[in-house]
Amino acid sequence: MEKFQKAVDFIRSQFPEKGFIPLHEPLFIGNERKYILDAIDSTFVSSVGAYVNRFEEMMASIAGTRYAVATVNGTSALHMALLVAGVKKEDEVLTQAFTFIATANAISYLGATPAFIDIDPLTLGMCADKLQSFLEKNATLKNGAAINKATGKRIAACVPMHSFGFPCEIDRIVEICSQWKIPVVEDAAESLGSYYKDQHTGSFGLAGVFSFNGNKTVTCGGGGAIVTNNEELAKLAKHLTTQAKVPHVWEFTHDHIGYNYRMPNLNAAFACAQLEQLSSFVENKRELASNYSGFFNKEGFEFMEETQGVRSNYWLNVLLLSDRKERDLFLSYTNDKKVMTRPAWTLMSKLPMFSTAQQDGLEVSQDIEDRLVNIPSSVRNKK
């Protein structure tokens, strides 16, 4: 317990003014109030307004893509990105079992089923080697599409996730998927401000998706974005997220089943103010991670570090304990001391909705689920 108490003391030393230390709290020290009041004064508080367009321009510029489409949250962004990527009922979509529920739910909204690929212990994201083995073992190319030999279903997309902000080996994943004619939709919900080989996460595949939920690096209460270089796809995503209304001054005509998924201008104003601070927030988080790294390595903990050639936003810092028993002891010790820590998500493959989905053994995913703890990672207010 001495080791755990030292960890608590060190985490507290990083957040000196706090009684209870949350896992990740938002920070509003920029133009948030100013822009939100401006949106209110303009009367454009709903899904049309200058801030929505500005948010999209900012997101495209940050991600380094030609287009960005604003959505109400990251889950709707995933749903729409998969829809416009061509995922249909009875299709299969490759993803991770080690992810937040929204990734698997978005696949299900389209009537498709997930198949789970194991993760890489160095990145905690989809393992490129395991993806390749899965496809070699289970898939065949027929008329330009990958078909799962076991289920007979088309493998319509692959959704790797950049877990806790650590970029996965996305260039190899995209390369493997392109050989199998499988479009990649990156779940970059957690990795705004993270780069893989100097290129922003979310910009490697056909589309990438971000979340602006209250617990993310920057937030607007609720919000999401789809980024892409594909003009047709961006236009279709925007159309479908705005009820598929055919543009006209007064007529109400719709040419698809659409969705009320567009981000309101009020949230976009909020998001623009937060995005202005993204670089400084990420710097601040990287400094915290560096402090943690120094301490935890010295004290014999396994602290998760970014791999060579990437730049993580360190959204949530990660400790790996020796086994599930030690993990649980650490969780209860730290939470008792009002230092919030939490385990990883239960693997998707263990949830009743996805328990029959195909998977590749998931040894690393299970090991990481047993040992992982997230520790406080908020941006520290230095003003």
Ligand X SMILES: Cc1ncc(COP(=O)(O)O)c(C=O)c1O
Position of tokens 């498709």?
112
Minimum Å distance from CB 187 to ligand X? 5
Residue number, 148 or 341, with CB nearest to ligand X: 341
| Contact of 368 with 321, CB cutoff 8 Å | no
Minimum Å distance from CB 257 to ligand X? 21
DSSP string, 259-290: -B-PPPHHHHHHHHHHHTTHHHHHHHHHHHHH
Could you say whether residue 211 binds ligand X (CB under 6 A)? yes
> Per DSSP, what are the bridge partners of residue 228?
67
Minimum Å distance from CB 318 to ligand X? 14
List the alpha helices (DSSP H) in 205-253: 231-241
Minimum Å distance from CB 103 to ligand X? 5
* Tokens, residue 294: 């120094």
Q: Which of residues 151-180 bind ligand X (CB under 6 A)?
A: 161
Minimum Å distance from CB 74 to ligand X? 2
Minimum Å distance from CB 321 to ligand X? 22
Could you say whether residue 365 binds ligand X (CB under 6 A)? no
* Binding track, positions 178-197, relative to ligand X; x by CB under 6 A: ---------x-xx-------
Residue number, 148 or 376, with CB nearest to ligand X: 376
Out of 47, 75, 242, 359, name the contact with ligand X by CB under 6 A: 75
Could you say whether residue 104 binds ligand X (CB under 6 A)? no
* Tokens, residue 318: 């990660």
Could you say whether residue 273 binds ligand X (CB under 6 A)? no
Residue number, 100 or 116, with CB nearest to ligand X: 100
Residue number, 100 or 296, with CB nearest to ligand X: 100
Q: Is 301 helix (H, G, I), strand (E, B) or coil?
A: coil
Residue number, 138 or 341, with CB nearest to ligand X: 341
Amino acid at 74: G
Could you say whether residue 218 binds ligand X (CB under 6 A)? no
* Binding track, positions 84-103, relative to ligand X; x by CB under 6 A: ---------------xx-xx
Stretch that binds ligand X, among 30-38, 73-81, 284-292, 369-377 (CB under 6 A): 73-81
* Binding track, positions 32-71, relative to ligand X; x by CB under 6 A: ----------------------------------------
| Contact of 341 with 335, CB cutoff 8 Å | yes
Could you say whether residue 201 binds ligand X (CB under 6 A)? no
E strands, 60-218, are 67-71, 92-96, 113-117, 139-142, 145-148, 155-159, 185-187, 195-196, 199-200, 207-211
**Whose CB is nearest to ligand X?**
74
Give the closest residue to 195 by CA, choosing from 95, 279, 291: 279
Could you say whether residue 217 binds ligand X (CB under 6 A)? no
CA distance 186 to 170: 9
Give the closest residue to 65 by CA, choosing from 242, 280, 228, 292: 228
Mark residue 219 as left, alpha or beta (left: phi above 0; alpha: psi -120 to 50; beta: remaining): beta
CA distance 263 to 68: 12
| Cβ neighbourhood burial of 232 (10 Å; 0-12, 13-18, 19+) | exposed
| Contact of 10 with 295, CB cutoff 8 Å | yes
Sign of the torsion formed by the C-alpha atoms of 54, 59, 62 and 65: negative
Residue number, 147 or 278, with CB nearest to ligand X: 278
Residues interacting with ligand X, by CB under 6 A? 73-75, 78, 99-100, 102-103, 161, 187, 189-190, 211, 213, 224
